[in-house]
A = this chain, B = another copy of it.
């Protein structure tokens, strides 16, 4: 992409990248959205199970943050013993597009760590069923 600056035709005050990153750049946030949105793992303990390294303290903090920022919503199913499912709301679903671009990027550039056959590929291959693109 050499040459002219690529400038927005509509000027923004702070770059929207900055605002988006404030919430999405967290170490665990995207993985939690992945659990709920893609893996359909929407229960506290299950999330801990499928996300190695994540601890209950951090998961709690991030769920609260995602909730208060309007990404997810809790469904309290029963309270004794507690049974909660977490669901994406609109903003959270939109964030999955960012997630897809991360998966795409990672699949291409970190295939050695990611795939067992170490072959680089595009997301369309791992997720052929997904409505991707616009």
Contact = CB atoms under 8 A, between A and B. Distances in A.
A64 interface: no
A115 B17 contact: no
A121 B19 CA distance: 15
A44 interface: no
Contact of A15 (B6, B26, B103): B103
A11 to B, nearest CB: 7
A53 to B, nearest CB: 9
A14 B113 contact: yes
Q: Interface range on chain A: under 10, 10 to 19, 20 to 34, or 35 or more?
A: 35 or more
Contacts of A128: 9
A66 interface: no
- Residue with the greatest number of chain B CB neighbours at <10 A, chosen from A9, A98, A134: A98
A6 B99 CA distance: 13
A10 to B, nearest CB: 5
A81 interface: no
A79 interface: no
B110 A20 contact: yes
